[in-house]
Structure 1
Amino acid sequence: MESINNQVLSVSQLLAIKQLAIPDYQRPYRWGAKNISDLFTDLATHQDKSAYRLGSVVFHQHADIDETLDIVDGQQRTLTLMLTVKALIEVLDEERRSGKERATRFQRQDLRQQLEALKAPIHDFMAREHFPSRDSELNLRRNYLELRRLVARPEFDEQQIDFLLNRCQVVCFVLQDISEAFQFFDSQNARGRDLAPHDLLKAFHLREFAEHEASLKAEAVAHWERLPSDELANLFALYLYRVRQWAEGKSARYFGKGEVDLFKGVNLDRVGHFPYVESLRITHHFVDEYNSQYQRKIDGQRMVFPFHLDQMIINGRRFFEMAEYYQKRVAAIVAKESGPVQGQSVTLLGEALTPMACKVLSTLSSYERRHRTGDRYVRAMFDCALIFYIDKFGSQGLSLAIEKCFIWAYRCRIRQQVVQLATMDNYVLEHNLIRAIRDARLPGDLHGFPLPSMSRQENKNNRNGSEDELVGLFREMKYYE
């Protein structure tokens, strides 16, 4: 067999390899409907490219006579590609049997020949491979049926078939020693784990830049690169992710790689003219047009895109602008919240706060137990609610919003002896002020959000029954009996 080590192979070339095998130590096949959908979205989105990399496949080559190639890394992707091509072959065979061959999408003789050539190696692979995991069998069957439906649709035409077979590529690595293969696999995955979710988003949105905006990439990424990685990680994990999830009534415990799709939206150059996109498209072009007018050189005015925490993301440049916008905005709000001294007047967003709102912020930045893990979780609830309120209503009714957010969030602290991540998440979903903010039309609509007063018997935070600064503030605000 000709060496494929360090070679770039097309999907057709990969699946034509007769020595492919799945070793017994491989984990079960777990790809699901979301992975299938992502694959076909990629095919439709990138089919105008001369080549598109799907990733890498790592093999361990046995030294025996048949030179079996065990797939050490890339099993999920390879099996899914094999199922896709198998489904295409079945569609071709069915149309031939029904006498529709001349009217099908398979009018290109080269594509028909490629599929015919792949029939035997794929059939042989399926015949000799046995999957001990019941999960693998169920997922393979389910995904094959879904792929069978997808490739039979008329929009999956010859152009996409050609793109899949000949221009979608993988990089192959072949290692002779099994320990070397696993070491290589571990190093590849270790590098993957080093990529934080926000790094993955950066890579995605750089690819989504419009071609005519290529010159703006460096400028858009400059602010991103200047920020410490921990600061970006906190921006997304503690604020942007939680607000977006809680506003939809969904859990927001951990922002990992599996959740990055929440910050992938629409590419305005590629998405169709659907009604839901038009307001974004109009705003996007209007802001650019306004800022490019010669009058701006005279009046010095510049319009910022009107971002909202729960809106659809515009891929590419606007994503980086959004991250910069909220990094500055969140940092300014949190700094103001944490800074006031008891008795000192506070201005937030140009709004002079009431004495009670000032006292709330002062207490939160100074009470003795504020550094406990549970108290930090509760503070995160308060911050998210207030940031979301300001994002929607600005400074209007801000003092009352601060009081409302405080009573809502710290009621959880006083009622719980221990506050964990799950405690915080469950509390928000059961008493969802953030969703109420999303649904409100006017600041006054939040007056109707129920915040019952508490009794001494409900205070589980201080087991000795003493009152701390938080309880004293609740009592002063008439929420503690």
Structure 2
Amino acid sequence: MAKILSIDNLLKMPLVIPNYQRPYKWTTQNIDALLNDISDAINDYQKYNFKFKYRVGTIILHDKSKGLSYDIVDGQQRIISLSLIRKCIDSNFSCDIFNISFANKSSQINIHNNFEYIKEWFSLKEKKVKDNFINAFRNILEVVVISVTKVSEAFQLFDSQNTRGKALDPHDLLKAFHLREMKKYPYEMEAAVTKWEAKDTKKIGELFANYLFPIWNWSRGRKATTFTTKDIDIYKGVPEFSDYTYAKRVNKATPYFQITEPFVAGNDFFEMVDHYLQLLSNIQTEISVNKDFKEIYKIITLTKNPDADDKEKEFIQVKKDSIGFRHTRNLFFCALLCYYDRFHNFDTMAVKKLCRWAFALRLDMVSLGFDSINKYAIGDMNNARYTNSIPMFSQICYARKHTEISGLQIKINDVPNDKKWEPLYEILKTL
């Protein structure tokens, strides 16, 4: 049975968290996002003359005793978080969730931290904000509740909802967020959607995962991780009418983008994605057609030339079979994108220095994984195996002139640690 309930009515149900449920994992970052989503919903409710509802999602329950108690099969994280917010805005509020004893230490810590964060969040607001939230729980926020009498049916629904349906990628969530920021501009929204749908979304995903997100981290001296939905706050931009000083500066910078800097939320997100897709394409084309970069293209290419001799064909196959080589190839394009984004030139010496720097790592290592790429990119000074220990990305981001990059001293290992990379060694020596 499925029905739509307000959050208040959901929390009044006799809910139970069964032992098979995972610990409560939400952090203050998740709570902050939820509080802001509710605030946006309240604003829309008031704007649209109190005819607006905000759907929080779907909850799956197992009715194990004819309505006397319900096991939460799916939705535990949201229910606990909403209960904490409801208690903060009304100390007299009570529900069965508060009678549950959480034995898991991680759950206890997260519940405590989140409750303290919510209290602090509301302590900085006027009283009417609490009143608006109470009204939201009663009249604005709603949820689809599916309850079944057989636990097997509950898990079947859970599997269907969480595994069969394709989860949204981070860039899809960002698209939805920025479209919502544009709701005052319907024509611009339509244009942004049309432009987005015309692109290859796989390439958009690769842009964030392989270039923008690693560069953002490496420029700050941080190791890059897999780009997931928990990282999307980095690309939510700043609100159009924010009073923050840095936000005003960002507004004035529009439409000029920098990979390491924020942008204005809304349409600028779509312009930013378009800009860097084009920039990356331009860079890759320049390396392939510019005669000054002939040797670099010989290094990065994975396509067999019909006129190539056996030695060249063998080297191309070695590159194609090496995961470590593909990592260094991507590292080079990240460094070049970061450089071009800042200085907007293809200074021959600077590009060659970036190439030497990136591929010198391939000569240093017999086995090369992404962890080594991470350490190398941020300039790990403690790894004796690296011939170069330059924090290249932060170096680029703090450079005033491009000559600070073209003038870098990049060393090449005298002897490759693996003989199969001797052709790479010979080319790098000539750069």
- TM-score, length basis structure 2: 0.86
| 1:468 alignment partner in structure 2 | 422
- Within the alignment, does 1:378 sit opposite 2:378 as a pair? no
SS at match of 2:427: helix
Deviation at 1:159, TM superposition (A): 2.5
- How many residues end up aligned between the 2 structures? 398
Query: Within the alignment, does 1:200 sit opposite 2:170 as a pair?
Result: no
Contact 1:29/1:136 (8 A) holds in 2: yes
CA distance in structure 1 between the aligned counterparts of 2:394 and 2:253, rounded to whole angstroms? 25
Q: Cα deviation per residue 1:401-448 (whole Å; 9 max; x = unaligned)?
A: 211111110111000011112121121122321111111111112256
The 1:84/1:194 distance shift into structure 2, 3 A limit, reads: closer
Q: Which runs of 5+ in 1 are unaligned?
A: 91-115, 285-304, 341-345, 347-352
Pair 191,274 (structure 1): closer, same or farther in 2 beyond 3 Å: farther
1:78 to partner: Cα distance: 0.5
Contact persistence 1:363–1:469 (CA under 8 A): no
For 2:22, the aligned partner's letter is R
SS across alignment from 1:130: coil
Which residue in the other structure is 2:245 paired with? Answer: 275
- Deviation track 1:122-172 (CA, whole Å, cap 9, x = no partner) reads 2x4423x23232222222223223223333333344223423443122221
When normalised by structure 1's length, the TM-score is: 0.77
Moved over 6 A (4+): none
Partner of 1:55: 57
1:13 to 9, 34, 44: 9
AA partner of residue 88 (structure 1): I
RMSD, aligned α-carbons? 2.2
Does residue 29 of structure 1 match 2:24? yes
Deviation at 1:449, TM superposition (A): 4.1
Deviations 1:382-418 (A, max 9, x none): 00111111111112x6211211111110111000011
**1:43 offset after TM fit, Å?**
2.8
- The alignment status of 1:87 with 2:58, answered yes or no, reads no
Q: Could you tell me which of 290, 307, 315 is aligned with 2:265?
A: 315
Alignment match, 1:394: 344
Q: Select which of 41, 60, 69 maps to 1:46.
A: 41
Q: Partner of 1:152 in structure 2?
A: 123
CA offset digits 1:87-126 (Å, max 9, x no partner) = 3333xxxxxxxxxxxxxxxxxxxxxxxxx5x43xx2x442
SS in 2 for 1:308: coil
Q: Distance in 2 between matches of 1:475 and 1:448?
A: 17
**8 Å Cα contact 2:3/2:144 also seen in 1:** yes
Q: For residues 73 and 405 of structure 1, do their structure 2 counterparts lie closer, same or farther at Cα, with a shift above 3 Å needed?
A: same
**Corresponding position of 2:382:** none
Question: In structure 2, do the counterparts of structure 1 residues 71 and 218 end up closer, same or farther at CA, with 3 Å as the change threshold?
Answer: same
Letter in 1 for 2:81: T
Using the alignment, how far apart are the partners of 1:242 and 1:377 within structure 2? 12
Distance 1:240 1:407, change over 3 A: same
Distance 2:264 2:165 in 1: 26
Amino acid of the residue matched to residue 194 of structure 1? A
Q: In 1, distance between residues paired with 2:413 and 2:97?
A: 67
SS at structure 2 position matched to 1:370: helix
Q: Which amino acid counterpart does residue 428 of structure 1 have in structure 2?
A: A
User: Once the 2 structures are TM-superposed, how far is the Cα of residue 210 of structure 1 from its aligned partner?
Assistant: 4.2
For structure 2, list consecutive stretches of 5 or more residues without a partner in the other structure.
46-52, 303-314, 380-389
**What is the letter of the counterpart of residue 80 of structure 1?**
S
Residue 467 of structure 1 and its aligned partner are, at CA, apart by 6.2
What's the offset of the Cα at 1:276?
0.9
Q: Percent identity?
A: 29
CA, structure 1 residues 283+144, in 2 after alignment: closer, same or farther (shift >3 Å)? closer
| Deviation, structure 1 residue 234 | 1.2
Q: Which amino acid aligns with 2:370?
A: L
Of the two, which has the highest radius of gyration?
Answer: 1
Q: Note the alpha carbon deviations across 1:64-88, whole angstroms, 9 max, x for none.
A: 3553111111101111111222233
Shift of 1:380: 0.4
